[in-house]
Chains A and B, each alone.
Chain A
Amino acid sequence: DTEVTQTPKHLVMGMTNKKSLKCEQHMGHRAMYWYKQKAKKPPELMFVYSYEKLSINESVPSRFSPECPNSSLLNLHLHALQPEDSALYLCASSYQMTGVNTEAFFGQGTRLTVV
């Protein structure tokens, strides 16, 4: 089982709304990632959690707030977003962040539209 589940699949939100994206995996992976993908572009790394601790933050604006409540769950809290934040948000996980077992598996993404 290499499944990473993301909810919701689609989300439309206003610029004053607060919403959350959720990601779940049950593969025993200890590293989890958030990526942002604009149309016809590659995924761009936003955050990396390793053993439930934030390890990498790629200078992401504070209107994006990640949270890792336990080793299976990863959330991305959204607040006061801008229309240019509209994109596909991808979650991924791997057994480890570094070392041998670093194969990363992606979820299907949440298509976010900010209006």
Chain B
Amino acid sequence: GENVEQHPSTLSVQEGDSAVIKCTYSDSASNYFPWYKQELGKGPQLIIDIRSNVGEKKDQRIAVTLNKTAKHFSLHITETQPEDSAVYFCARVERGDMRFGAGTRLTVKP
């Protein structure tokens, strides 16, 4: 399966600011795009996801947008808090094959 490009690799924001992480993919058959948050010493935690028939999805401070034509999707975190600090992975899924981006280390400074 094709990999996923994820940017930036590190992101530092001030508490209360917004954070945006972007991913691009090349496999047109991908139809499901989850985002995971991984804290040190823990497994990845599913925080939000989007399917190919939807352009945007929001859950409180977290939102994901998908542009299927351009093959990119983004994670938006508003009103960031120190506990949002973690590594975030985007992924694309096709027939059980989930491929992750390289990850973004987000640091929220109090």
Chain A interface (Cβ < 8 Å from any Cβ of B): 4, 6, 31, 33, 40-45, 48, 50, 55-56, 90, 97-98, 102-109
Contact = CB atoms under 8 A, between A and B. Distances in A.
A31 B45 contact: no
Interface of B: 32, 34, 36, 42-46, 49, 89, 93, 95-103
Contacts of B103: 40-42
21 contacts: A40-B103, A42-B100, A42-B101, A42-B102, A45-B97, A45-B99, A48-B96, A48-B97, A50-B96, A56-B96, A56-B97, A97-B96, A98-B95, A98-B96, A103-B46, A104-B46, A106-B36, A106-B44, A107-B43, A108-B43, A109-B42
Nearest to A6: B43
A105 B46 contact: yes
A6 B42 CA distance: 12
B43 A103 contact: no
Contacts, number: 53
Contacts of B36: 106
B96 A103 contact: no
Given A42-B89, A42-B103, A104 B98 contact: yes
A102 B46 CA distance: 12
A45 B45 contact: no
A6 B97 CA distance: 21
Given A48-B97, A56-B96, A109 B34 contact: no
B80 to A, nearest CB: 22
Contacts of A4: 43
Contacts of A31: 96
B88 to A, nearest CB: 11
Nearest to B9: A40
Most A CB contacts (10 A, CB to CB) among B44, B95, B99 go to B44
